[in-house]
């Protein structure tokens, strides 16, 4: 067991060593670095060299949360890839608390990194966008090869190391899909990154992650979220398709041809029309040496802000009701 987890009582142990971390059952805590529905993540020191780890402390409150956490541990524990945050160890206490020790990423999430740039009146250039997005697709490709659908790819779940290497994290909503589709009892994922097809029927395919990749790429390139949906009530198929019409029309005005073509492919309404991760990696935008001119990027960001929030034509609502879409 890693040093930062040595003070934790395993479920079958009788003695619990004392800890002075300020967090019950956890030693060497430095600070809280994130929290979710029923868990918190701390940066923790461990080992003689003072190595840093991230430790997730989860307290499932009901059988459903316990089942989800068990699936997360089962999936995450066997993943081994440079683009996936490595799970190093885990422990469960007699009080039903779970401690999951993870690889530490110095720069935090992609979301916090971009927000910091915004505060400094800067934005990501095309080289960084290309490098980060390419690594993200590599991680997603590996997951799909393992028959895993992440279902919650978003900037907050994409971590960066000090050298800006990408690491995908948070497999709390991930599922194993050995077939072409995985049927789930309800829609899961962050509202702004959920694809339209699962709003009709919660059948998940790898194309759901490809849609999320398109949303992340748009966010990095345009500077704002393509589908700014705030809660579960906003998960409406008709509203999503109307918004998609506006986003695709806006994207078609971009001067950067490679970015425009890739976004239009990723943000297709029908999942079968979206490319696989293998196809994405061979796209012109991800070729080594491809860069978007700064003035072109600036123009495209201006276009996005100008057109992205215009309302779709009224007749789209009529067609949606007429044809049941």
pLDDT tens across 168-185, in order? 999 999 998 866 555 555
Average pLDDT of the residues in 269-291: 91
What mean pLDDT comes out for the span 150-160?
95
pTM, two decimal places: 0.87
Strands in 47-133 per DSSP E: 51-58, 87-92, 98-103, 108-109
For 177, left (φ over 0), alpha (ψ -120 to 50), or beta? beta
Strands of 24-160 (E only): list them. 29-35, 39-46, 51-58, 87-92, 98-103, 108-109, 148-149, 158-160
Output the six-digit token pair for 145: 């090869």
Can you tell me the distance from the alpha carbon of 112 to that of 126, in angstroms, rounded to the nearest whole number? 18
Which residues are known to be catalytic? 152
Of 82, 5, 18, 75, which Cα lies nearest the Cα of 46? Answer: 5
What does DSSP assign to residue 86?
Answer: P
Dihedral angle computed from the Cα positions of residues 93, 96, 101 and 105, in that order, rounded to the nearest 10 degrees:
-150
Instruction: Give which of 99, 31, 111 is closest to 69, Cα–Cα.
Output: 99
Distance CA 97, CA 11 (A): 10
Distance CA 156, CA 176 (A): 22
Annotation: CATH topology of 108-322: Transferase(Phosphotransferase); domain 1 (1.10.510)
Q: What is the pLDDT of residues 183-198, one digit of tens each?
A: 555 567 788 899 998 8
Measured distance CA(153)–CA(147) in Å, rounded: 16
Using a 10 angstrom Cβ sphere, with 0-12 exposed, 13-18 middle and 19 or more buried, the burial of residue 31 is exposed
149 within 8 A of 188, measured Cβ to Cβ: no
Sign of CA dihedral 262, 109, 45, 29: negative
3-103 and 108-322 have identical folds: no
Binding residues for ATP, as ranges, are 56
At the topology level of CATH, where does 3-103 sit?
Phosphorylase Kinase; domain 1 (3.30.200)
Each residue of 114-132: pLDDT tens digit?
A: 999 999 989 899 999 999 9
DSSP state of 183: E
Question: Averaged over 147-151, what is the pLDDT?
Answer: 94
- To the nearest whole percent, how much of the chain has pLDDT over 90? 57
Beta bridge partners of 87: 102
Annotated domain spans of the chain = 3-103, 108-322
The packing angle between helices 315-322 and 237-251, to 10°, is: 130
**pLDDT tens across 23-82, in order?**
555 667 778 888 877 788 999 887 656 788 999 999 998 898 898 899 999 999 999 999
User: Which residues fall within 8 angstroms of residue 112, CB to CB, at 6 or more apart?
Assistant: none
Asked whether 139 and 166 are in contact (CB, 8 A), the reply is yes
């Amino acid at each position: 067991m890693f040093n930062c987890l040595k003070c934790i009582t395993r479920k079958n142990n009788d003695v619990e060593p004392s800890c002075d971390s300020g967090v019950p059952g956890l030693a060497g805590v430095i600070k809280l670095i994130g929290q979710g529905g029923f868990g918190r993540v701390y940066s923790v020191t461990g080992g003689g060299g003072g190595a840093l780890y991230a430790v997730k402390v989860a307290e499932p409150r009901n059988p459903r949360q316990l089942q989800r956490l068990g699936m997360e541990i089962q999936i995450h524990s066997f993943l081994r890839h440079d683009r996936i945050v490595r799970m190093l160890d885990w422990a469960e206490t007699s009080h039903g608390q779970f401690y999951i020790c993870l690889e530490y990423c110095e720069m935090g999430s992609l979301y916090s990194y971009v927000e910091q740039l915004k505060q400094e009146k800067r934005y990501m250039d095309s080289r960084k966008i290309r490098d980060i997005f390419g690594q993200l697709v590599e991680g997603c490709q590996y997951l799909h090869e393992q028959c895993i659908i992440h279902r919650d790819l978003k900037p907050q779940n994409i971590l960066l190391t000090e050298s800006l290497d990408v690491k995908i994290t948070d497999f709390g909503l991930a599922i194993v899909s050995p077939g072409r589709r995985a049927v789930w009892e309800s829609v899961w994922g962050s509202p702004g990154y959920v694809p339209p097809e699962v709003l009709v029927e919660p059948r998940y395919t790898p194309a759901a992650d490809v849609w999320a990749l398109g949303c992340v790429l748009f966010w990095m390139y345009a500077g704002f979220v393509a589908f700014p949906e705030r809660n579960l009530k906003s998960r409406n198929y008709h509203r999503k398709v109307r918004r998609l019409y506006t986003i695709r029309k806006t994207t078609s005005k971009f001067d950067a041809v490679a970015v425009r073509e890739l976004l239009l492919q990723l943000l297709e309404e029908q999942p079968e029309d979206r490319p696989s991760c293998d196809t994405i990696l061979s796209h012109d935008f991800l070729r080594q040496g491809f860069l978007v001119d700064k003035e072109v990027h600036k123009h495209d960001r201006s276009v996005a802000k100008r057109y992205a929030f215009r309302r779709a034509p009224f007749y789209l609502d009529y067609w949606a009701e007429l044809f049941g879409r």
